[in-house]
Structure 1
């Protein structure tokens, strides 16, 4: 099975930056409140795996923040730090996630995050086995977010599903593109359709569904996907381009999750996802729908809103399970566990001090003169007075039973024991 990249529709390369101000073309920064979000967090300490065509680590946007990774399939034998795709797809995604943004460079959503590049595809695509191996590799190398701006029509292979389950079980947030109609993805592509994955669809500048985006019930969130400025490999001059696709929407979402993981390092993946979907701006029909999922991502709100915690991944349980993790909101304080309440004193048994020689027994205590009382008190949880009555009754029954047994022995004239 071959997995093809979700198409990055590049327009002609941009003119030099002096004539084409980069920041002016990052139109989505303002509506997503990226500058405000970056005052809360910038992605420090978070490794984002970009499983793609490789990442050029020499461009100024990413210099010094691209780890040595690996390659599988068409990328085998590389460390991921060379972009094997003619369009520079992997580099473009990394720039949207972690672009430094200095000197009018492309500003990524999480500019202090670190990229783990894993090269799995060139222009001819990649086998499913390479994708699965890459997901496991990223998980084992400490990635807390995996960006999959790729996919293919049809169902995911068993090895890819197993690899995604492997990542989810190890507290990784997996983000995948819903797919592009131009690539044949009328329905949500096969990586994004796996349960537990954050499937991302595309929207236009006005917030309406992008006509080129795949859609379906597996859609989790939506993000800007049209006329997105990206940085491409240094071999291009200039190394900037405009493009449209759910690949870009996915990278913006991965950057948002990197901010969340940086701001809330104690939160597990389930609660990170809950923050993402609980704060998404609901568009279209109320509630989750096939075009927007739970809504458009809102990075600043996700970082600052009061969001109840959950016990499990809301994408696997079919809904949120609120009230689990007090760290899910910066404004909430943990509720301490209280000791079990003391049993109330029984009527007629007034509490007394420990040194009072005339103190009376409390509920649950035992008297030394009868082993039966503890048994009865533990079994039926009754007061000492009732217990004494029961003991008396029990003793009488034992006495009568003994007497009846003695009478039977005498009546039947049991022979005496041998001498």
Structure 2
């Protein structure tokens, strides 16, 4: 019997060597692609905690110093052990919440905080791992434990640059639990776009947690906004974000370039943090709706299984979130010629229309009088006869 193994297949980092300093110049294209700097005029993620379910985050990195809380090791429910900071989790945390200290890397939500929930190592499997037949339906997975812990310990967003083949009942239930607590769930869709299975079938294996309902599945795009060749394509894809040559921080110090839907998911988690910071009462499904409504480069058909509804635009997503809250919108300078417009008339109260009631009642009364008059007339006529 095959057993499920949670892997980093959906989160594989392919490092292309060290970046050329300054790193801020190297990452400018990513910030531009997501329209992040315009979004920062509205929100920088203050007050929001993003749980990073991944390898442990190095809180000594200058961009993350004093901004990381460490949760317990989620890989086991019985043994407590010390976890060494990992390359992958640290990189993802930096993309979300890097402060930009000393001209270092800046995250999408630079005023947010990180809750590190270590669950995996940085061991990288080969691409194209076949799906596993999972039989552990009665047990609680490490991801399920992490989701519940994050939801119970103040996380408003959970970033999951991880994946495995095959759903688990305990994970589905944990996803529902977190969503019920108002937590936004974001996951990488996977890096199976160039596997033999995908080439032969025109679609990729589903990876979880991205495949669970309610989870925002994120695909990867290149610098031209096109789907990255390695990015998984199936109906778990909701939106897309940069995932090619994305600068990331390394444990200790330094930077490198990453490739993979891992980075894409972390960047979208940062945008979700911006939205939750500005509109904390927005439900997870509304945050997803805002991300979709504000996406750029929408496919010709409106949606496809490669980039979903398009590439996330942080500023447009915040505007969409504002509309969803029903907040009063201010007029953007230079756009006054569109006018404020008039409020729509208040809807009529439910129930019968008073005018129609009067007309109906009057008609009934006239008919009744005529009927009575006819009876009197006929009685008088029969009496004379």
1:172 counterpart = 2:173: no
> Given the alignment, which residue of 9, 12, 18 partners 1:7?
12
> Given the alignment, which residue of 224, 227, 252 partners 2:245?
227
1:113-151 superposed Cα distances (whole Å, 9 cap, x missing partner): 111110111145899711111011111112111100010
> Given the alignment, which residue of 297, 313, 330 partners 1:282?
297
The Cα RMSD (Å) is 3.4
Residue 269 of structure 1 corresponds to 284
SS in 2 for 1:67: strand
Deviation at 1:306, TM superposition (A): 7.7
1:97 counterpart = 2:102: no
Residue 44 of structure 2 corresponds to 42
TM-score (norm 2): 0.76
Q: 1:328 to 1:56 in 2, by over 3 A?
A: farther
Q: 1:167 to 1:337 in 2, by over 3 A?
A: farther
Structure 2 unpaired stretches of 5+: 126-135, 199-203, 332-339, 373-385
Q: Which has the higher contact order (CA 8 A, sep 6+)?
A: 2
TM-score (norm 1): 0.71
Contact 2:7-2:164 within 8 A present in 1 as well: yes
Residue 208 of structure 1 corresponds to 226
Structure 1 unpaired stretches of 5+: 310-324, 349-380, 394-419
Q: Distance in 2 between matches of 1:253 and 1:167?
A: 18
Larger radius of gyration: 1
Q: 1:282 to 1:183 in 2, by over 3 A?
A: closer
SS in 2 for 1:303: helix
Residue 381 of structure 2 corresponds to none
Residue 147 of structure 2 corresponds to 135
Q: Distance in 2 between matches of 1:77 and 1:334?
A: 60
Q: Distance in 2 between matches of 1:166 and 1:328?
A: 32
Contact 1:304-1:330 within 8 A present in 2 as well: no
SS in 1 for 2:241: strand
Deviation at 1:266, TM superposition (A): 3.0
1:335-354 superposed Cα distances (whole Å, 9 cap, x missing partner): 99878489459759xxxxxx
Deviation at 1:22, TM superposition (A): 0.7
Q: 1:133 to 1:20 in 2, by over 3 A?
A: same
- The count of corresponding residues between Structure 1 and Structure 2 is 333
